[in-house]
A = this chain, B = another copy of it.
């Protein structure tokens, strides 16, 4: 039982609040936290670019993390399907988790088709101006479909997969992304450099 001579936890409500602030984390990391939000069709190169950017940032000593279908769709969002409502909820949760990582001082890179402008803009609205950096991976659907790395376009065309972005569901390009990279035309390392240039300009 607590007495007046010792400061037990329940006597120390003042301690409850966080003392390790975002500013202290960012000072330790020597860079700001931010969200790099990659959007585009399946096969446009979002994950590839995000991981390549992460590799460069890590070599520069930055704290980074990539959120993509591989580590989110089977875990945090394992209860969600691909209906419009579930896709919106998927993006909402990814946005919330990305925000937590950013508050932890991390440069978090998200690689989801995120086809709907409204869903992306809701994430942008969750954070401060300059913290959400939207990167549109622009690639003709013919190129994405020709590659069809995961065989998804084929399944979408035969109807085996429904509500597939670009085939049976819309993709709404960003109105004013911080950056557009034409992934079918540019060398991967040039795309990486464009992203890094934006981070430099935005003082991340």
Contact = CB atoms under 8 A, between A and B. Distances in A.
A185 B10 CA distance: 10
Contacts of A45: 8-10, 12
Nearest to A111: B16
Interface string A30-58: 00000000000001110111011011001
Interface of A: 1-2, 6-10, 12-13, 15-20, 24-25, 28, 43-45, 47-49, 51-52, 54-55, 58, 61, 63-67, 70-72, 75-76, 93, 96-97, 99-101, 103-106, 126, 137, 139-140, 143-144, 147, 149, 183-188, 191
23 contacts: A2-B185, A9-B183, A9-B191, A10-B43, A10-B139, A10-B143, A13-B147, A13-B149, A16-B48, A16-B51, A17-B51, A18-B51, A18-B66, A20-B54, A25-B63, A63-B104, A63-B105, A65-B103, A65-B104, A75-B99, A76-B97, A97-B100, A100-B101
